[in-house]
Amino acid sequence: MPETRKQYAEHLDEIRADVIKLAARTCEQIGAATQALLDGDLGVVDQIYATHEEIKALDVEIEHRAYQLFALQHPLASDLRTLLAVLRILHEIELTAGLMKNVARQTRRIYPRELPPRVRGIIERMGAQASVQMHLAIDAFADGDAAVASALPDMDDVMDDLQKELFRAIFASGATDETALQMAVQMAFIGRDYERAADHAVTIGRWVDFMVTGRLPGEAANDRNLD
């Protein structure tokens, strides 16, 4: 292997490894945001805000290195797909981290009110589901596993059902006073944040499928719709 090609491969491997590390930190944010919400822990909320800034900075740094490989090297088809997937996956990771910052912000807004037991249980499950889907999406990226990636859309049905269950619990509370109504609105926003986080994991899976097979995300989705 020519030296320039060897260096290129090493740089690409480093970028892949850093994307995986960044995604792991985002998964930690999902768990932290969920726990902060359930416990009403504003100290953890502050940590989420600080970590979010670090994630954004690292996202930009990795993205710039990927663009440098585009500009200074001549990627082969498979490497080109990997770089394109990296750029798209970085975008999904950053959006997911932003959603967990939103959850942290909502935690501040409802503090010190406690969550109703039924809502608390649903939120806990939504946080766990979002974390599982993100972990699997990144495992698929790390292993180049299109089969795992293709399982994510079906897993997302679980999150959709949880969001519906959350809305039913909110409406069943029969909130009438202003404070209770504000709580209901905040919980609806939080449920939407978890649902969107799970959607981002699905999108990562579609870009993994593209990286491995060369099928564009839209093409992969259409193939599943025909099954």
Q: Provide the CB-side half-sphere exposure for 136 (13 A, CA).
A: 25
pLDDT digits (tens, 9 = 90+) for 95-140: 999 999 999 999 999 999 999 999 999 999 999 999 999 999 999 9
- The predicted structure's pLDDT at residue 149: 97
- Helix (H/G/I), strand (E/B), else coil: 75: coil
| CA proximity to 27, closest of 102, 99, 110 | 99
Q: 145: which DSSP letter?
A: -
| CA proximity to 111, closest of 175, 197, 166, 186 | 186
Please report which confidence band the pLDDT of residue 6 belongs to, taking 50, 70 and 90 as the band edges: confident
- The predicted structure's pLDDT at residue 218: 75
- The predicted structure's pLDDT at residue 180: 83
Mean pLDDT of the chain: 92
pLDDT digits (tens, 9 = 90+) for 54-86: 999 999 999 999 999 988 877 788 899 999 999
Q: Provide the CB-side half-sphere exposure for 195 (13 A, CA).
A: 16
User: Token match 């499950």: residue?
Assistant: 125
CA 78 to mean position of chain CA atoms = 24
CA 161 to mean position of chain CA atoms = 18
Please report which confidence band the pLDDT of residue 223 belongs to, taking 50, 70 and 90 as the band edges: low
Please report which confidence band the pLDDT of residue 227 belongs to, taking 50, 70 and 90 as the band edges: very low
Q: 41: which DSSP letter?
A: -
| CA proximity to 136, closest of 159, 167, 165, 164 | 159
Q: Is the pLDDT of residue 220 over 70?
A: no
pLDDT digits (tens, 9 = 90+) for 151-201: 999 999 999 999 999 999 998 877 678 888 889 999 999 999 999 999 999
State what percent of residues in the chain have pLDDT above 90: 80
Please report which confidence band the pLDDT of residue 1 belongs to, taking 50, 70 and 90 as the band edges: low
The domain defined by 3-225 folds into: Methane Monooxygenase Hydroxylase; Chain G, domain 1 (1.20.58)
Side chain identity at residue 112, one-letter code = P
Side chain identity at residue 86, one-letter code = V
User: Token match 């944040």: residue?
Assistant: 193
Where do the H-state alpha helices sit in 40-110? 42-72, 77-110
Please report which confidence band the pLDDT of residue 226 belongs to, taking 50, 70 and 90 as the band edges: very low
- The CB density around residue 52, as the number of other CB atoms within 10 Å, is 20
Q: List the chain domain ranges.
A: 3-225
| 15: its two tokens | 């970028």
- Helix (H/G/I), strand (E/B), else coil: 17: helix
- The predicted structure's pLDDT at residue 222: 54
- The predicted structure's pLDDT at residue 225: 46
- The predicted structure's pLDDT at residue 191: 98
Q: What is the pTM assigned to this prediction?
A: 0.92
d(CA 83, CA 177): 52
d(CA 39, CA 118): 15
Mean pLDDT of 206-210: 97
d(CA 20, CA 16): 6
Q: 215: which DSSP letter?
A: -
